[in-house]
Amino acid sequence: MRDIVEETFRLVGAAAEQHVRLRLLGGLAIRLHSAERSVHPALDRDPKDIDFVTPRAEERRASSFLESMGYEPNRTFNTMNVGRRALFYDTGNERQLDLFIGSFEMCHMIPIADRLDLEPVTVPLAELLLTKLQIVELTEKDQRDILALLLEHNVGDGDDETINSDHTARLCAGDWGLWRTCKLNVERTRDAIDAYGLAPAERKLVSSRLEALWARVEEEPKTRRWKLRDRIGDRARWYEEPDEVG
């Protein structure tokens, strides 16, 4: 069975050679951004699947590329979700590959296409974190990923190995639902910091970065649309319930 990290590098390398724009999401992207590509032992997990995003205009090209690399498309699902998402399978290794088209859409929509070229292999760290913070039913593995990102990366106003708090704040200021779910998961992460066996200095570092990120989100002026939705609050559902597809 081919190691999933080796397989990811095979796909990324071939895509670059063929000028196919694929950028990695999920636990494997977090691993690649970690020191020596190794997540802190207290937060490490075993990624099972591969997640990519491609520009909407390049959906067909990316799909053809993945098929040429031996991945079997889920034709029914892909036809029903054209322009949004596609599924492929590495049947020999019993793995699923998710291809998001132009943006990441699960509980909330995270735009990605306009910033896709900021990183050569993965999406930017701000988007990578937001794909975790937007999960309403946060899982234990996603909580680990949030902590790993904050432990490894500073929060600031740029993107070079930094979680761009300005960009995060702008997205949350324009979308009350995204802001609400991110707030929920910031609170969950505060409560979870002590549960993962991190050293006191590491817990302090994660906590300070989390607080800095959320302070920047809260200080960003909110749009009129955000303020109107804020009047309704939690009385109406503010998120989508994504389908689980296997």
Do the domain assignments include residue 182? yes
Do the domain assignments include residue 242? no
Owner of token pair 């951004």: 33
Do the domain assignments include residue 246? no
Cα dihedral 129→132→134→140 (10° resolution): -150
Do the domain assignments include residue 200? yes
Structure letter (DSSP) for residue 122: B
Query: What residues have CB less than 8 Å from 74, skipping those under 6 apart?
Result: 86, 87, 88, 89, 245
Task: Name the residue among 48, 168, 186 with its Cα closest to residue 115.
Answer: 168
What integer pLDDT is reported at residue 244 of this predicted model? 66
pLDDT digits (tens, 9 = 90+) for 110-121: 999 889 999 999
Residues in the chain, pLDDT under 70: 1, 36, 244-246
- Average pLDDT of the chain, as a whole number: 95
| Backbone angles phi and psi of 33, in degrees to 5 | -90, -5
Do the domain assignments include residue 76? yes
Domain residues for 140? 4-235
Domain count, the chain: 1
What integer pLDDT is reported at residue 180 of this predicted model? 98
Do the domain assignments include residue 244? no
- Contact between 106 and 240 under an 8 Å Cβ cutoff? The reply is yes
What integer pLDDT is reported at residue 141 of this predicted model? 94
What integer pLDDT is reported at residue 245 of this predicted model? 65
Do the domain assignments include residue 243? no
Do the domain assignments include residue 192? yes
What integer pLDDT is reported at residue 36 of this predicted model? 66
Q: Which amino acid would we find at residue 38?
A: S
What integer pLDDT is reported at residue 246 of this predicted model? 57
